[in-house]
Structure formats: C-alpha cells, structure tokens
C-alpha cells in the first residue's frame, strides 16, 4: 500500500500566501473597478493595468458580443451632463448592451468619456460595445439642420438637399433609385423599386458637409424607428405594409387639413372594397412628372386628356383600377395612421370646398357629389 504524500510546512505556507494574494488581488480589482466612474478625471497606472487585464482576459468576448442579432434601428438619447455610468445604465435598460458597467469600463479605459456628446443617436441591438461607444463619441462638429416636408417626391427631396445643404441632387437620386439597403422593411420590395415613400419626412441634424449617403441612411434609420413598428398593424387592414404606404402617400397629397386625413383614407378604402378605381388626381400628377412651364413636379389644372394618360409604370389611377405599384411621395405619420385606422364612413366621393380653405366635402353617391361641385 502506497503511503499518502504529505505537504511540507513550506509548501503549505506558500499555498496560503498565494491564496491570500489571489484573494487580495480579486478584492483590489473589484474595488478599483467599482471606483472607476465617470467623475474620475484620469486613471492611475494601477487602474489602467487592472482594467486592461479585466477587459482583455475576462470580458473580451462580452465586449464583442452584441445584445442580439436584431438590426432594427433605435433612437438613443444622451442628455447634457449625463455621466458614463448613467449612459451605461440607460443603454442596458433600452436593450442595447448586455452590461452597462462593462460599457462604462470600456469607455473609461479607452478615454472616450470626454468625447461622448449629448444628442440623439441611432443604435442597434446587433452592435458590440465598441461599436456603440464609437457611435456615441463622435467629435463635436458644426451641424446643419434641414426639414423635409411631408408629401414630397424623391426628386423634390433631392432638390431641397442640394439647395439647403449642398448635397448633389443627382448623387442623392442615384442612391435613392435603388432599394438594396440592409433594412428589414426593404427586403420584400419588388425588383427595381426605388426608395420613394421611405425617405421619412422630418427635421434632420447633419454634420458639416454631409454626403448624400449620410442623409439617405439617416432617413431610412428614422423610417425604421418611427414607421416600421406601425406597419405591424397593417395586416389587420388586409393590406401589405407597402400597400398601406402607397395609399398613405396619396392621402398625404390630397389632405390639406389634418383632421380630414382619416376621412379621405376612408373614401379610397371604400372604393377599393367595391372594386372602384381610386381616380386620385395626385397619381396622375405623379405619372405626368415635371412640368417645365409650371416649374413643378405636381401639375395644377389637370385636363381630361391628362386623366387619360396611360403611363407605362401604371401610376395613373384614372387609367388603372389598381393601386399604383408604389408610393408617389413620402407620407408623414398621420397619413399612415389614417390608412391603418381610417374613419368609418360610407363615403365614396370628395371634392374641394368652394370656400378655398383647403377643406373638402364628402358624399356617398355620385349624384350627391355632383351637387357639391363649385360653379
């Protein structure tokens, strides 16, 4: 029988000392990590060493592991005066990082805390902590602001951008005429579709000398945040998200008074239900395109001949009984909501009021409609 080896007193002492050193080091590391916060002006050499070891040896995989694979853009707000600790907590609560404290340590270790700006940022849950930190620490720059009104077709958007921020209209249109960008809401578009309707109208803050792609991606990000979630309700209407967006773009062009949008939407939806042609003037205007004599993309004073125009793309709803193949402009949220939850009416007709205040009169029958036409 083998005799069990005994530990010598020296080995026991060495083991106890080593164990104590490990416990002390762990305690010191924990203490140092908890003390490193946003109010610390600078890290000591010991801080740097301990945090570096912690990030490289223990949490390296966690730094590169995103919260999820979800590419949906989310708006994230950094308030003036917020500490990195508060920002980390908010990121974790919003589901953008797994560990707010790990974000804080990464930012402090890489000296990024002083370059995080207050403002609204577009983040995604499939971004790693380094990617989130880089997005939030953009250097302060001179910014410009532009407002894209509702109901503009993409050529008008391009013209606005060229006039106000110097972005080349041709370059913007080149990018906008294709829809092969990596956004979930663009994945099912028909082949050859453009971004018409998806260039969300809003006020945008841009860096100095932005590129066409800068603003285009900002607009698509904004659509993803504000419009895409609404489209989950589109199934209840029996229409696809693109059909809802298309009809909303027509409502946007027709409506002048906000409260009438659900009523106008109800007219077109009622016509669809009975297989009646939409006969929407804005679709004819879109099909006709730019009018040099009027210097406008939307011809006023449509003639009977205009209404018969059979455009090859099929947008003129006086000629086709179907919805146009896509949106004719970029609608705002209220027009989209009007199509998803329209007024409950039996109206089939509407016409501009004779008092020229932008309001409309609505009718159930063509005979009633005729009596409301202006002399």
SS (H, E, C) 153-175: CHHHHHHHHHHHHCCCHHHHHHH
Which own/partner pairs from 265-269 qualify as long-range (CB within 8 Å, at least 24 positions apart)?
265/335, 265/338, 265/339, 265/342, 265/343, 266/342, 266/343, 266/344, 266/345, 266/347, 267/345, 267/347, 267/348, 267/349, 267/350, 267/362, 269/237, 269/339, 269/342
Domain boundary pick from 207, 226, 245: 226
Give, in order, the Cα–Cα distances in Å from 52 to each of 42, 70, 208, 344: 15, 29, 36, 63
Tell me what pLDDT residue 107 has.
81
340 falls within a domain: yes
Residues 103-113: pLDDT tens digits? 888 887 777 77
Residues 162 and 155 sit within 8 Å (Cβ to Cβ): no
Domain count, the chain: 3
pLDDT tier, 188 (very low <50, low <70, confident <90, very high otherwise): confident
The whole domain housing 195 covers 143-226
Residue 40, in any domain of the structure? no
Task: Give the integer Cα–Cα distance in Å for 218 and 215.
Answer: 5
| Distance separating alpha carbons of residues 144 and 205, to the nearest angstrom | 6
Residue 287: Cβ within 10 Å count: 23
Which of 156, 146, 203, 206 is CA-nearest to residue 176?
156
The answer to the question of residue 127 being in a domain is yes
Shared-domain flag, residues 82 and 152: no
Percent of the chain clearing pLDDT 70 (strictly above): 84
Considering only 62-71, 105-114, 252-261, 300-309, which range has the smallest mean pLDDT?
Answer: 105-114
Average pLDDT over residues 87-107: 89
User: Residues for the chain: how many in total?
Assistant: 375
Give the list of residues 6+ apart from residue 367 with CB closer than 8 angstroms, or none: none
Q: Is the pLDDT of residue 17 over 60?
A: no
Assign 291 to helix, strand or coil. Answer: strand
Condensed to tens digits (0 to 9), the pLDDT of residues 245-274 reads 999 999 999 999 999 999 999 999 999 999
What integer best gives the mean pLDDT of the chain? 85
Within a domain: 30: no
Residue 93 CA: distances (Å) to CA of 64, 90, 125: 19, 5, 12
What are the φ and ψ backbone dihedral angles of 254, each rounded to 5 degrees?
-80, -40
Question: What is the pLDDT, as a whole number, of residue 47?
Answer: 62
Please indicate, yes or no, whether residues 250 and 365 belong to a single structural domain of this protein. Answer: yes
Asked which of 75, 104, 136 is the last residue of a domain, the reply is 136
The verdict on 90 and 186 lying in the same domain is no
Q: Is the pLDDT of residue 33 over 70?
A: no
* Eight-class DSSP state of 41: S
Q: What is the pLDDT of residue 281?
A: 96
User: In this structure, how many other beta carbons lie within 10 angstroms of the beta carbon of residue 66?
Assistant: 17
Whether 211 and 263 map to the same domain: the answer is no
**CA 112 – CA 98 distance, rounded (Å):** 19
| Owner of token pair 């912690």 | 54
Q: Are residues 197 and 72 in the same domain?
A: no
């Amino acid at each position: 029988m083998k005799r069990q080896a005994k530990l010598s007193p020296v080995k026991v002492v060495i083991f106890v000392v080593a164990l104590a050193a490990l416990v002390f080091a762990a305690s010191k590391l924990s203490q140092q990590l908890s003390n490193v916060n946003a109010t610390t002006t600078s890290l000591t050499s010991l801080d740097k060493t301990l945090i570096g070891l912690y990030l490289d040896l223990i949490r390296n995989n966690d730094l590169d592991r995103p919260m999820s694979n979800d590419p949906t853009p989310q708006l994230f707000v950094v308030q003036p005066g917020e500490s990195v600790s508060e920002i980390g907590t908010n990121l974790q609560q919003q589901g953008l990082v797994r560990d707010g404290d790990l974000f804080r340590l990464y930012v402090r270790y890489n000296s990024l805390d002083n370059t995080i700006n207050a403002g609204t940022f577009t983040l995604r849950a499939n971004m790693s902590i380094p990617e989130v930190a880089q997005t939030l620490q953009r250097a302060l720059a001179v910014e410009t602001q532009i407002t894209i009104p509702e109901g503009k077709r993409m050529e008008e958007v391009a013209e606005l951008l060229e006039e106000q921020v110097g972005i080349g209209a041709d370059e913007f249109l080149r990018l906008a005429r294709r829809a092969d960008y990596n956004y979930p809401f663009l994945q099912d578009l028909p082949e050859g579709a453009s971004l018409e309707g998806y260039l969300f109208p809003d006020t945008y803050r841009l860096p100095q000398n932005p590129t066409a792609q800068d603003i285009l991606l900002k607009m698509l990000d904004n659509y993803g945040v504000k419009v895409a979630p609404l489209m989950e309700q589109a199934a209840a209407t029996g229409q696809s998200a693109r059909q809802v967006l298309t009809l909303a773009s027509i409502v946007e062009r027709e409506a002048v008074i906000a409260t009438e949008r659900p009523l106008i939407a109800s007219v077109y939806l009622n016509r669809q239900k009975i297989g009646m042609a939409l006969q929407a003037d804005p679709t004819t205007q879109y099909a006709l395109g730019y009018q040099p004599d009027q210097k406008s993309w939307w011809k006023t004073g449509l003639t009977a001949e205009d209404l018969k125009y059979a455009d090859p793309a099929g947008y003129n709803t006086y000629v086709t009984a179907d919805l146009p193949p896509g949106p004719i402009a970029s609608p705002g949220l209220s027009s989209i909501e009007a199509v998803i939850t329209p007024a409950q009416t039996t109206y089939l007709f509407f016409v501009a009021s004779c008092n020229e205040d932008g309001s409309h009169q609505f009718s159930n029958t063509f005979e009633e409609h005729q009596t409301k036409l202006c002399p």
